[in-house]
């Protein structure tokens, strides 16, 4: 791209449009538009449903323990993330001071996920961390992404803190599913 004395860019010579003014960077793009977070949440929820079914089928078809526990953890991670995303879809109905985690899980359900991860954390610990993570989130999708990060950190800490291969593989699959869900929400 050639620049003239006035700082304007021109198309290079030798092209059919050579010498003409080049478009300004960012012109005619949609960068200034707000993303449709409702659509992003819907796409992520649909994708997570498919991922959960695939992980369940993979666990059912697997013979080796390592792969079975990894796929089982992945199934649980997709299930957890799907519940958070579903709560985010209905985020307009959240009472003040309530998190997506509060909406998605009662204490018993949250305790089951923690038990599946062999975690020493309590539902109250997760709720407190989710409350802190959700502060300042601008959209329901951002809120879901931040609250999922709480459980991702827990799963990663579990992977690092265990010498039991089964527990490590389950936590690894769980964390991978949460990371994938967070990536979907950031698109």
User: How does pLDDT run across 56-68, given as a tens digit for each residue?
Assistant: 888 888 777 788 8
Mean of the per-residue pLDDT values of the chain? 83
Alpha carbon separation from 74 to 50, 81, 152 (Å, rounded): 12, 10, 12
Read off the pTM. 0.75
Place of tokens 């079975």: 68
User: Which residue, 136, 138, 139, is CA-closest to 38?
Assistant: 139
User: Which residue, 118, 180, 124, is CA-closest to 152?
Assistant: 180
Interval 138-165 mean pLDDT: 91
């Amino acid at each position: 791209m050639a620049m003239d004395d006035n700082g304007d860019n021109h198309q290079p010579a030798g092209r059919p449009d050579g010498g003409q003014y080049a478009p300004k960077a960012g012109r005619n793009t949609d960068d200034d538009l707000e993303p449709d977070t409702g659509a992003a949440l819907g796409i992520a929820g649909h994708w997570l449903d498919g991922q959960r079914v695939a992980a369940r089928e993979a666990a059912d078809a697997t013979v080796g323990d390592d792969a079975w526990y990894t796929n089982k953890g992945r199934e649980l991670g997709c299930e957890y993330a799907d519940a958070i995303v579903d709560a985010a879809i209905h985020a307009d109905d959240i009472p003040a001071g309530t998190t997506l985690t509060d909406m998605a899980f009662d204490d018993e359900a949250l305790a089951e996920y923690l038990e599946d991860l062999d975690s020493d954390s309590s539902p109250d610990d997760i709720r407190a961390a989710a409350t802190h993570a959700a502060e300042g989130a601008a959209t329901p999708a951002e809120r879901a992404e931040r609250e999922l990060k709480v459980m991702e950190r827990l799963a990663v800490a579990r992977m690092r803190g265990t010498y039991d291969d089964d527990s490590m593989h389950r936590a690894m699959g769980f964390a991978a599913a949460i990371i994938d869900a967070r990536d979907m929400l950031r698109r």
